[in-house]
Chains A and B, each alone.
Chain A
Amino acid sequence: MKKILLMGNPNVGKSAIFSRLTGARVVISNYPGTTVEFTQGKMKVGEEIFMVIDAPGTYTLEPTSKAEEIAVEMLKGGDTVINVVDATNLERNLYLTLQLLEREIPIVVALNMWDDTKHRGIEIDISRLEEMLGVPVVPTCGLTGEGIKKLISRVSEAKIPKFKFSSDKERWETVGKIISSVQKITHRHHSFLDNLEDFSIKPLTGIPLSFGVIYVTFWIIRFLSEGLIRYLFDPIFQNFWLPLMNKLSIFLKEGNFLHTVLIGNLVEGKISFGSSLGVLTTALYVPLAMVLPYILSFYLLLGLWEDFGYLPRLAVLVDNLMHRIGLHGYAIVSFILGLGCNVPGALAIRLLEGRREKFIAATLMAIAVPCMAQIAMIIGLVGKRGGEYVVLIFAILFLLLIIKGLILNKFLKGTSPELLLEIPPYRIPQTKAVVKKLWMRIFIFIHEAVPLVLLGIFFINLLYAFKIIEFLAKLFSPLLIGLWGVPKETISALLVGFLRKDVAVGMLAPLNLTTKELVISSTVLAVYFPCIATFFVLVRELGIKDTLKATLIMLSTALFLGTILNFFLPN
């Protein structure tokens, strides 16, 4: 099968075009570096089927980061390149186009974001551009789908023009010549969004604004998820699922092995979705009624901010602070994605330049950035004892992030590289795009998380049945009881925590912990190890040696932190 590669600068809309060409679902956002890994899909042109590959964005064919390296590497395996170009920023984009034209590979240019050129006062003479480049040029708009059919129909006309440059200077001179003969820019007035852009990047106004943004975001997430739980998800489980489970419970009879696995243990003679720990009770209730509402609200808000283009601005504002902990501002993208799920957070580490930075970012994220599933469970469980304890846990994790960062920055050789980042213009998010992205992320959660939760509950039931939990509890009791001051039964939560953090926190529910024990065990659960899925991504991104080092740091931090909390927290 012939391969078509989508290549272009970061944030020019390659993924949107990819999605249009193949119908495949991919995450599209308004910030550079959304695609860190390639995605492939299929496209039919006439009778022939092509493999279409969405490569990470790159400014040049001399790569400066892992994501760019991947893009350049992929160029070798392609049969045709669709060079996606941002029509509102033609000059800069043409540099990569010229580099691509020097390669022995047929090219078509998609002049994307074409719809944006008019109100920006940009006029481009397409037929002249086509003539000068010697390859087909098609105006497109990935978000609305305009021009995509034309693009597909002209793929077969892709050509290898004869360009050869001896230096960068010559390349830029050619770009200059092309620009002066195909593009006209008329002056335009500052729009409201332009003013807002300036407002949010000047420190005196931008910093207060960022606090406002973060505060409002969390408030909305809380409001939405609590509403969803109270008025939708919980009633569904209580009114429809519970009667069914009650019948099943009577049918299976309490104490029976099958009853223990499917329904779990009855609490005061009743099924408790929170603490029965059955595959059909807790294992469904935790991911669907406790976690899903938070995932939904979080990704809705994240999607809006991503598409609006706020994330890079936040990165600039926090750059200074991030340097103190050995990172630069853009690492915040990893942390924010990590708040949703640590797996995409770990993948986004590719956007960082050096090995030192990647190591620090990965370690800090695994230790101190709990995923939304875990956060939801902490709010659900610890929140019952009072909101101040939830705040306490997050304050501890935040402090840990700072302290660990300061330590790693001091003791690891080298310094953190400087920020160099293109800041995209603000764009009003489109409802359709936001909903599509939200649905995709929810689908991933249901598809990948729910089976793991079921597996986790099943697995823990087996361990109980074979008395392995009892054995491990005894084995680890010096650590658990002696150092952390928590009951030895919390070992079950620590075990499940390797698989899924949400169920792990859920495992604490039936243990009747005191508030202090609950705070310590949920904090330790957040710190000691990322979930297995994140761990494997880290192995791939950092290599086994650095991942083991990071794991050692996590384990020792958990050991130390639990002991300190036990010592200092009042009973």
Chain B
Amino acid sequence: MLKDLTQMEEGELGIIKEFRGGIGFVRRIESLGIREGKKIKKISSQFLRGPQTIEIDNCQFAIGFGMAKKILVEVK
């Protein structure tokens, strides 16, 4: 099932499928190592459309809600 990052549950695993954003956004997020095909784990989401925390390759990131909406993830 395809979800965006904000829709994932705490602790849920998935694989990044697609970025729905401009080239600037994709470049910035890719330079952090957040790329298509990477395994991802949702750690937490802050209240009231706050930032989403994820883990990729043992590395954690906080991503603002709007950006997180643009990241689509395939979950089992």
Residues from chain A with a CB closer than 8 A to the CB of B46 are 203, 316-317, 319-320
A-B pairs under 8 A by CB, number: 99
Which residues from 59 to 96 on chain A have a C-beta closer than 8 Å to any C-beta of chain B? 59-60, 62, 64, 88-89, 91-92, 95-96
Residue of A nearest to B26 (CB): A168
Whether the pair A64, B28 counts as a contact (CB closer than 8 A) is yes
Whether the pair A60, B31 counts as a contact (CB closer than 8 A) is yes
Interface size class of A (residues with CB under 8 A): 35 or more
Residues from chain A with a CB closer than 8 A to the CB of B50 are 203, 316, 319-320
Residues from chain A with a CB closer than 8 A to the CB of B27 are 60, 62, 168
Residue of A nearest to B38 (CB): A91
Q: Which of A88, A89, A319, A420 contacts B33 (CB 8 A)?
A: A89
On whether A91 and B43 interact (CB within 8 A), knowing A420-B28, A423-B60, the answer reads no
Name which of B1-9, B12-20, B51-59 contacts chain A: B51-59
Is the C-beta of A198 less than 8 angstroms from some C-beta in chain B? yes
Is the C-beta of A346 less than 8 angstroms from some C-beta in chain B? no
On whether A319 and B43 interact (CB within 8 A), knowing A60-B27, A91-B33, A172-B35, the answer reads no
Whether the pair A422, B51 counts as a contact (CB closer than 8 A) is no
Whether the pair B48, A320 counts as a contact (CB closer than 8 A) is yes
Q: Could you tell me the dominant secondary structure of chain B's interface residues?
A: mixed
Residues from chain B with a CB closer than 8 A to the CB of A60 are 27-28, 31
Whether the pair A420, B29 counts as a contact (CB closer than 8 A) is yes
**Complex-state Cα separation, A563 to B47, whole angstroms:** 38
Whether the pair A422, B43 counts as a contact (CB closer than 8 A) is no
Residues from chain A with a CB closer than 8 A to the CB of B48 are 320
Which residues from 89 to 123 on chain A have a C-beta closer than 8 Å to any C-beta of chain B? 89, 91-92, 95-96, 120
Which residues from 17 to 75 on chain B have a C-beta closer than 8 Å to any C-beta of chain A? 27-33, 35, 43-51, 53, 57-67
Residues from chain A with a CB closer than 8 A to the CB of B67 are 418, 420
Is the C-beta of A419 less than 8 angstroms from some C-beta in chain B? yes
On whether A420 and B64 interact (CB within 8 A), knowing A203-B44, A319-B46, the answer reads yes
Residues from chain B with a CB closer than 8 A to the CB of A319 are 46, 50-51, 62, 64
Whether the pair B59, A316 counts as a contact (CB closer than 8 A) is no
Residue of A nearest to B54 (CB): A423
**Complex-state Cα separation, A120 to B29, whole angstroms:** 24
Interface bits A318-336 vs B (CB < 8 Å: 1, else 0): 0110000000110000000
Is the C-beta of A201 less than 8 angstroms from some C-beta in chain B? yes
11 contacts between A and B (CB under 8 A): A92-B32, A92-B59, A201-B44, A202-B43, A203-B50, A206-B44, A317-B46, A319-B46, A418-B51, A420-B62, A425-B60
What 6 pairs between A and B have smallest CB-CB spacing? A418-B64, A92-B33, A60-B31, A59-B31, A423-B60, A320-B50
